[in-house]
Chain A
Amino acid sequence: MKKILIVEDNELNMKLFYDILTYQNYDVEKAYDGLEAYQKIESNKYDLIILDIQLPKMDGFKVLKKLKEKNISLSNIIIVSACAMDEDKAKAKAFNIETYLTKPIDINNFLKTVKEKLD
């Protein structure tokens, strides 16, 4: 079973992602803030990480920066964020993260992206 970490601070959005991903038979874990996400990524192995940008304690970019400093690969990370500004997308690109989905997501498209990323 593929293991996915969802990093999302909004309760309802977390529930949405969790429900549709568990329904697809993925093993899903939750992190509600940047610090929790960083600690989990550092000590566990995930096949895919769905990362939000605006997060409490530590924002998504800071998480990426800290992971990079620890030489932890970022290749299994996709960003799903409500930040729709071009500069945020450019920042993600600087971390070599190609998949940047803007909220609101189309769930069919989202599931397709997740599946492609895991294959």
Chain B
Amino acid sequence: MSEKLIVARGLTKTYGDFIAVDGIDFDVAKGESFGFLGPNGAGKSTTMRIIGATSVRTSGTLTILGKDPEVHGPQIRAHLGVVPQQDNLDNELTVSENIFIYGRYFGLSSSFINRKIPELLEFAQLEEKKDTKVEALSGGMKRRLTIARSLVSEPDILMLDEPTTGLDPQARHILWDRLFRLKEQGVTLLITTHYMDEAEQLCDRLIVMDKGKIMAEDSPAQLIKDYSTKEVLEVRFGSDRNQEMVDVLRPLADRIEVLPDRILLYATDGEQLLEQITAKGIHPNTSLVRRSSLEDVFLRLTGRSLVE
């Protein structure tokens, strides 16, 4: 295995009686794109803050590039690019001034930053907006600027907390494309998300978190293989009939999950299962066969949906 940039053992964070992160272990290798998948409140953002040396762990050990954030906070922050969940761009400044001053916070020279700005503006597709005040940008542009800004110090690790939450589908796809490019350049990415498609698109490896604990850890494909079947058949009978159909359907599928509005039937071949059901004279109002996703993995692991 290649060089490990982050090593966490028994990492724990409590706020009074509340355990936000409950003794988790994980390693992140250089150049890897590592994800934290889980619902809101799973402890993902807290873990990110501890790695970002802006929160102090309660117990456990953590090293980032061989350093302990508790002892060498500023040194670790110098290695990191941070893209927080809520944009904290400087609204009173222009697009290029935002990148400039952020570089100055790291102590970088003006000449270095000024050489860097055109490259970052191109990356963020914001060349036209360089002298525009940040206030006037769209949500997607702001997020891209936040990423560009975080890259000014050429970080070894880029941390993205819910990078596409609140963006429209088009803006999400542009952002994913930009993050892919970074991944190709070998930047180590740390991503938290509660979107399974985002995790599947961007992460080489991820941990599924719930209530501060790690439920599973692997590549998206392997997790799906381990915790779900190849396909899923989704059937709806109308909210009053869903429950009574469960007992009839249960023997037919490998596994069954009942959601408020639909029933999920897990099988290797979804179409075949649907045929079996119709052959028994059962006719759902609607049916859909799809591939298993991380959503199904999460449902299997926790009995709950990711997005509630």
Partners in one complex: no
